[in-house]
Amino acid sequence: MDERPLGTSDVQISPILMGTWQAGKSMWVGIEDAETTKAMRAAFDAGITTFDTAEVYGNGHSEQIVGQSLADVREQVVYATKVFANHLKAEKVIESCEHSLKNLKTDYIDLYQIHWPSGAFKSSIVPIEETMGALNQLKQQGKIRAIGVSNFSRVQLEEASQFGRIDSLQPPYSLFWRQVEQDAAPYCIENNISILAYSSLAQGLLTGKFGPNHQFEPGDHRVKNKLFTGENYKRAQQALEKLRPIAERHQISLSNLALAWLIAQPQANAIVGARNAEQASQNAKAGEVHLSADELAEIDAIGRIVTDHLDDSPVLWNWS
């Protein structure tokens, strides 16, 4: 898989990244550490070099599994992790980074990201200048190589950029969820900021494996995902039926069609999770799919069956 530069930094990332929220186990069901480890190794063997995690995923458990799974190939992979919204005071940023370094069994983090803006989830308000000051300090010390933000609006991204170089934005972004295109994406394109799309398969909806009457197990966070409810879910099923012939033409899965479309968008890269080795290997194949301009336009139009009816909120879940 051809690698791409992360923003203007010297970090090189794979356009398909492995997401590891599920590795933390919290808010997921049926996750086993042994299977997660096999999935990470399979992803690496298939050409995925970039692994995205966060301190809040299972209270550090995801980071620990990443560190254990990839320790022997550390110099060949990129670790991206995140500091949560309740740890954005300068001393907390430094403390969180030290914990993440320990969890990941490494002495540097390739990409360190602010997970949610200050104030999210009832966290205290911290001036972005203070948080960025701590991140810049960590960068100068060589403990982190690049700074990114996640779930930031364009306004928040512009403000953060006043206090240091931001090399990536991590928003929810998929064929079925495209608010970022109207908000922060133009700024990212203008300023060479990489977009690391999470929920790039709309939390599994774009795989086509969830039928019209699917019911999630208790504890699965997708029950609160807006795309899995009501008319949104019905429209998604209609769109999936129109996507199937295109995938069949290329002899690829619906998942890889959706991922190939996404990484063909300006500055866009796709974070995708995997429960097992087979899923991880299959996800990597999306990096080899080439879609024509006409096909990209056709897929774009099909996706709008869903996205044209969504509200303007950038948050994917009804958590309130």
pTM listed for this prediction: 0.95
Residue 271 lies in a domain: yes
Alpha-carbon distances, residue 238 vs 205, 234, 235 (angstroms): 12, 7, 5
Residue 26 lies in a domain: yes
Residue 138 lies in a domain: yes
Whether the predicted pLDDT of 320 surpasses 90: no
Residue 257 · residue 250 · CB < 8 Å: yes
- C-alpha to C-alpha distance for 131 and 90, rounded to whole angstroms: 5
**pLDDT value for 72:** 98
Q: How confident is the model at residue 27 (pLDDT cuts 50, 70, 90)?
A: low
Other CB atoms closer than 10 Å to residue 72's CB: what's the count? 8
State whether the Cα torsion 44-61-199-80 is positive or negative.
Answer: negative
Residue 262 lies in a domain: yes
If you search the block for the tokens 């954005």, which residue do you land on? 88
- C-alpha to C-alpha distance for 63 and 97, rounded to whole angstroms: 12
- C-alpha to C-alpha distance for 240 and 286, rounded to whole angstroms: 17
Residue 263 lies in a domain: yes
Residue 201 lies in a domain: yes
Exactly one of 57, 79, 112, 173 is catalytic; which is it? 57
**Does 233 qualify as catalytic in the annotation?**
no
Residue range 157-176, pLDDT digits in tens: 999 999 999 999 999 999 99
- Which contiguous run of DSSP H or E holds residue 99? helix 90-104
Which CATH number belongs to the domain containing residue 143 in this structure?
3.20.20.100
Mean pLDDT of all residues belonging to the chain: 95
Mean predicted confidence (pLDDT) in 205-217: 89
- C-alpha to C-alpha distance for 271 and 275, rounded to whole angstroms: 14
**pLDDT value for 304:** 97
**3-class SS of residue 104:** helix
Phi, psi (degrees; rounded to nearest 5) at 170? -115, 100
Whether the predicted pLDDT of 312 surpasses 90: no
Pairing of strands 144-150, 78-83: unpaired
Residue 214 lies in a domain: no
Whether the predicted pLDDT of 221 surpasses 90: no
- Please count the structural domains in the chain: 1
Residue 304 lies in a domain: no
Residue range 74-122, pLDDT digits in tens: 999 999 999 999 999 999 999 999 999 999 999 999 999 999 999 999 9
Other CB atoms closer than 10 Å to residue 101's CB: what's the count? 21
Instruction: Give 131: exposed, middle or buried? Use CB within 10 Å, 0-12, 13-18, 19+.
Output: buried
Domain extent at residue 49:
4-207+253-289
Phi, psi (degrees; rounded to nearest 5) at 26? -60, 130
